[in-house]
Structure 1
């Protein structure tokens, strides 16, 4: 890719970031750092949803190189190459529409990268000023720096997704790392919220019992996200065409070995043969049945947190999104994989990540707050006999 095209591509990413940055900068009131943190979380959520749309429309190779499109900064400049590829294969991986879907996804990703750079720079500048004054910085730079490093890793996997021709394990990791980026951004946003006003804390004994459940919910959700990504990247969504049975059976014929061999080409076994349908069935069946574990664990966690002060709203939203996610998953099979429902299912996964992360943060923060309060009261009583 020529330097001039690379510069134009970078300027496009800066332009994508400039609008939300301008809105944050010109917003009334203070706490612009907090607003920027939540803007990053919001656009990361959007990026994950649009990434799902990109994958579901088979647009992942709409531009078969990286970071540009046929070495150009946008599909307008690569129109001749795209038109030639589309003429050879009108329904193939490269069309004008698919090229734009893929590049819009990249533009949005670059914009988020520049927003994170802005957040990281602001946090380091604030840290240096606080250090010069001999006070503790309000916004620590560690988490924004981790966000920056993580988005760099995510960008690398985005490149490998294209250069390795949608290899399932790479695409699945790309999805998981994107969801992890969302979790980090939400954790940062939660921290900034609590710097403004501490939420009411539940009793420490209750929070201690809830914390392992919140952790377990995160672990169970991570496994299901990996399984769901594996279903999507292997195009196994309709490997079971009915529900609750799978192709008319409780336990259908399944090829576990080939289905869960990680390092292989899309649609192929590790030996290079075509992937048998029974392997796709195994992939789908595991994801479907593990969903029951997710519903039970996350549902029980939401129920336990429902009546606790400061956690009711998060628990309620978690329960609602969990129900919606189960509904869209079943509807995807019953309605023969309609694109809007599939995109909603992908958005539901991101929503669960957001809410489980927020629940974990609030439980951890409230527990620390509740444990600090008695010590503070004891210290005050000792100083005033």
Structure 2
């Protein structure tokens, strides 16, 4: 790819980031760093949803090279090559529409990369000046490393022709980026306005264990869901709750869950048998029972604590909607809008589980600080 095209792509990423950066800079909010963090959370959530749309519309190879499109910075400049590819194969993978979907996804990703670099730069400069904990650069540095790794997997997604394990890891990294940004936002909220001591520490510790377990099972279910999507196994079971008329249909776990292989192929290069797709879908569907059990218990315990009740209600609502969209995807023969909603629901579960985790962690810290201060105050008196 020519240097001029790379420069144009870099400028596009800066242009995408300018609007949110300008809005934060011109806002009346005194704590602009905190505001920028939550803007980054919002945009990362949007990117994950649009990434799901890109995957579900088969637009991942809309531009078959990376980072540009046929070596150009945008599909306008590559129109001749795209038109020729579309004429040869009208349904794709390369069409004008799919090329634009893929490049818009890349532009958004580059814009978020610029915003994360702005967060890192601001935190380093302010930390050196003030040593204020809100600007401690550890998490922003981790975010920068994370987004670089995510960019590498984005490139491999294209160059390795949508290999399922690469696409699934790309999805998980996107969710991890959202979680890390949300955790940083939680830190900024806590430092700006620490919560008052509240609740029983024993109950909080039990909730924290459940919250960590919830994060683990959500991650596992997203990985399984990504594996379903990247292997095009969504309709391998076209009824619910049975699968092909059976509770346990014939399944090929060996080929279905062999990680390193081409899309639609076994490790030996043969076409993937349908029973392998059934296995992929069946495992994702049934692991949802584990997710509901763990999150249901977490919601029940957190709901009983006044300072966690709001988070618990939101988590319960999103979990319920997520179950509905998952079932509707099967019943309604994979409508695009509902499939995108299902992807968005997974991102919301990650965001809410992360928020609940940091809320419980910081509440325990506040309670411990109060407990430690009480004997010291008594000694003084």
Structure 1 and Structure 2 fold alike (TM over 0.5): yes
Please state if 1:210 is matched with 2:207.
yes
Name 1:362's counterpart in structure 2.
359
In the TM superposition, what is the alpha-carbon distance from 1:377 to its structure 2 partner? 2.2
Residue in structure 2 matched with residue 89 of structure 1 by the alignment = 89
The CA deviation at 1:204 is 1.0
Q: Match of 1:283?
A: 280
Aligned residues: CA RMSD: 0.8
- For residue 144 of structure 2, the aligned residue among 148, 160, 166 is 148
- Matched residue, 2:296: 299
Residue aligning to 1:199: 195
Shifted more, 60-69 versus 213-222: the winner is 213-222
Asked if the contact 1:20–1:39 (Cα under 8 Å) also holds between the matched residues in 2, the reply is yes
Residues 20-169 of structure 1 mapped to structure 2, 5 A cutoff: 20-130=20-130, 135-169=131-165
Q: Deviations over 1:134-189 (max 9, x none)?
A: x5443210000000100000000000000000000000000000000000000000
Are the equivalent residues in 1 in contact too, given 2:195–2:366 (CA < 8 A)?
A: no
Q: Match of 2:219?
A: 222
> Is the Cα–Cα contact under 8 Å of residues 199 and 310 in structure 1 kept in the other structure?
no
Structure 1 unmatched ranges of 5 or more: none
* Structure 2 Cα separation of the partners of residues 354 and 25 of structure 1: 25
Confirm or deny that 1:251 pairs with 2:252: no
Tell me, what secondary structure is at the counterpart of 2:134? coil
Aligned residue in 2 for 1:186: 182
- In the TM superposition, what is the alpha-carbon distance from 1:237 to its structure 2 partner? 0.1
Check the 8 A contact 1:25/1:32 in 2, yes or no. Answer: yes
1:8-34 Cα shifts (integer Å, max 9, x gaps): 000000000000000000001301000
TM-score (norm 1): 0.97
User: Helix, strand or coil for the counterpart of 2:264?
Assistant: coil
| SS in structure 2 at match of 1:138 | helix
* 2:29/2:35 contact within 8 Å kept: no
C-alpha deviation, 1:235, in angstroms: 0.3
SS in 2 for 1:247: coil
Please state how far the C-alpha of 1:335 moved relative to its aligned partner. 0.2
Alpha-carbon distance between aligned partners in 2 of 1:202 and 1:225, rounded to the nearest angstrom:
32
1:325 and 2:319 are equivalent in the alignment: no
Residues 74 and 103, structure 2, Cα contact 8 Å, conserved in 1: yes
- Structure 1 residues 137 and 211, CA, compared in 2 at 3 Å: closer, same or farther? closer
Aligned length: 380
1:226-245 pair list within 5 angstroms: 226-245=223-242
Q: Deviations over 1:185-227 (max 9, x none)?
A: 0000011111121224322111111111111111111111110
1:332–1:341: 8 Å Cα contact kept in structure 2?
yes
Q: Which moved more, 1:371-380 or 1:90-99?
A: 371-380
- Segments of structure 2 that go 5 or more residues without pairing to the other structure are none
Instruction: Give the corresponding residue for 2:374.
Output: 377
Separation in 1, partners of 2:337, 2:225: 17
Cα separation, 2, equivalents of 1:81 and 1:165: 18
Of stretches 370-379 and 82-91 in structure 1, the one that deviates more from structure 2 is 370-379
Do the aligned residues in 2 keep the contact of 1:126 with 1:137 (CA within 8 Å)? Answer: no
Report the Cα distance in structure 1 between the residues aligned to 2:140 and 2:309, rounded to whole angstroms: 28
Aligned-partner Cα distance in 2 for 1:2–1:231: 37
- Residue-by-residue CA offset, 1:225-249 (whole Å, 9 max, x unaligned): 1100000000000000100000101
Task: Give the TM-score taking structure 2 as reference length.
Answer: 0.98
